[in-house]
Amino acid sequence: MSPRNASALRARFEWLRPRPLGTSTSAGLGDRLGLATPGHVRAVRAVGGAIAPIFPQQSIREMARTQRTPTEVMDDATWGMFAEGWRDGTGADADHLKTTEDIDATLPVGFSMFTIDPSAHVDSAADTDDLATLRAKVAALPWAELEDSEASLRQRYVGRSFAVEHLKVAFDEAVVLRAAAKYGKAVSHVAKMSRHLLKAAGSRPVELEVSVDETDTPTTPAEHYWVANELRRLGVKWVSLAPRFVGRFEKGVDYIGDLGELETDIAAQAAIARHFGPYKLSLHSGSDKFSVYPIAARLAKGLVHLKTAGTSYLEALRTIAALDPAFFRSIYAFARERYDTDKAT
């Protein structure tokens, strides 16, 4: 089970080579330990082809923390698929990439989907800034990188409303400036990352996901509209987008919040995704959100990507606790020692 042999298998058998999945209903089944792919294969088979799988999926920060390389992530999934006789294809998600160096580290390995995480460039303080502060922040945006000007931005949005299916998305000055101040630098960063990816990939087909979910407050329909419209203006193409929904999506537990409020939110976000795409809504930290899955699938009309990594890890801990309690206690003690540092991400 060497890297050379895994690479040879992918070269010989096309079903082991990751490929773009397009707008198929899909699930990314991240495996932090490199052991879970056989179980993931069996789970996907159990739903009879209703979900297109992504077996190799791990974020750059998780690779750093678990001391795995992109090649190891890819190879572990390859061996798991090969052992289970999986021949129905897979995507491969290089998750939460923040820099062009992250793209350069994962593209040569064969990843087919690239999730861009511009959270470092999102200004969450804009949610509560007064109008004067918003005006100052928008004036300071990198307008050359955005290929735009503040005057042009105002002309496109201020005082206008846009019909999107059942929605009326209205922009007054405060709404426009808040969206631009919050997400303007993030839009510029995503465009830069997308152009780097396409240039590096050349003729090889790849797909992009945009993640704006790792923010302190929800992504409003107006903000989703603004981000999608501005990315499209800059020529960016993407297959899925992860907004920050209302309520809380915590790993390993069901949705925390009002399901009626979430249903209204998903209906609005899905309408915008169909308007500008269609592209998929991506549910991050999606493990065990059993109350959410049917709502999202129905309202997005199947244009959904589920992203989960924590479940397999938690099931591994459950197994260790049953079979080797002393080992589990040592893991628990180590995790508590690391908590203050690791909770930052």
Q: What is the pLDDT of residues 81-137, one digit of tens each?
A: 999 999 999 999 999 999 999 999 999 999 999 999 999 999 999 999 999 999 999
The answer to whether residue 198 sits within a structural domain is yes
Q: How far apart are CA 111 and CA 151, in angstroms?
A: 40
pLDDT at 251: 84
User: Does 148 fall in a domain?
Assistant: no
Pull the structure tokens for residue 21: 């999945």
- The confidence score (pLDDT) of residue 174 equals 98
Number of domains making up the chain: 1
DSSP classification of residue 141: S
Q: Is residue 270 part of a domain?
A: yes
CB 299 within 8 A of CB 263: yes
pLDDT tens over the chain, length 345 residues: 999 999 999 999 999 999 999 999 999 998 988 999 999 999 999 999 899 999 999 999 899 988 999 999 999 999 999 999 999 999 999 999 999 999 999 999 999 999 999 999 999 999 999 999 999 999 999 999 999 999 999 999 999 999 999 999 999 999 999 999 999 999 999 999 999 999 999 999 999 999 998 788 899 999 999 999 999 999 999 999 999 999 999 888 999 999 999 999 999 999 999 999 999 999 999 999 999 999 999 999 999 999 998 788 888 999 999 999 999 999 999 999 999 998 887
Identity (one letter) of the amino acid at 7?
A: S
Whether 273 maps to a domain, the answer reads yes
Tell whether the torsion through CA atoms of 285, 23, 207 and 72 is positive or negative: positive
Name the catalytic one among 76, 102, 207, 209: 209
Residue with tokens 């735009």: 148
- 87 within domain boundaries: yes
Residue 129, domain member (yes or no): no
95 is catalytic: yes
Residue 209 backbone dihedrals phi, psi, to 5 degrees? -115, 140
Instruction: Indicate which residue of 31, 93, 95, 207 is catalytic.
Output: 95
With respect to residue 295, please indicate whether it lies within any of the assigned structural domains. yes
Report phi then psi at 20, rounded to 5: -65, 145
Query: Which H/E stretch holds residue 167?
Result: strand 167-171
Classify residue 326 as exposed, middle or buried by CB count within 10 Å of its CB (0-12, 13-18, 19+). Answer: exposed
214 is catalytic: no
Residue pLDDT, tens place only, 46-57: 999 899 999 999
DSSP state of 168: E
Distance CA 75, CA 18 (A): 12
CATH of the domain at 268: 3.20.20.70
Is 147 domain-assigned?
Answer: no
Full domain range(s) for residue 295 = 3-124+183-342
Q: Is-contact 282 305, C-beta < 8 A?
A: yes
Residue 252: predicted pLDDT: 84
DSSP 69: -
In this prediction, residue 272 carries a pLDDT of 98
Whether 255 and 265 have beta carbons less than 8 Å apart is answered as no
CA distance readout (Å), 291 to 123, 190, 249: 31, 31, 12
